[in-house]
Amino acid sequence: MQAYLAAMPGWKREVGRYLGSYRTGATQLPDAFGPEGLAAFIERDELDVQTVIVKRLPHTVN
């Protein structure tokens, strides 16, 4: 995994550095994480149909 991350442009070797927290209830926990700050959320509609929403997380979390 680190070899993959090291090959990514702009990647810093600050593995495990705490960036901050979201306020309680400000956001839901992503169902999956991707490279470069991508996060996937699975949402269900009124008919229980699942949709995957992909968002980019901010570089700094306050």
Task: Round to whole Å and give the CA distance between 34 and 41.
Answer: 11
- Each residue's pLDDT tens digit, 7-60: 555 555 556 677 677 778 777 888 999 988 899 999 999 999 999 999 998 776
- Each residue's pLDDT tens digit, 38-53: 999 999 999 999 999 9
Task: Give the dihedral sign, CA 48/54/58/61.
Answer: positive
Task: Round to whole Å and give the CA distance between 12 and 4.
Answer: 12
At residue 6, does pLDDT exceed 50? no
Of residues 6 and 53, more confidence is placed in 53
Taking the model in full, what pTM does it have? 0.54
Residues 6+ apart with CB under 8 A from 6: 13
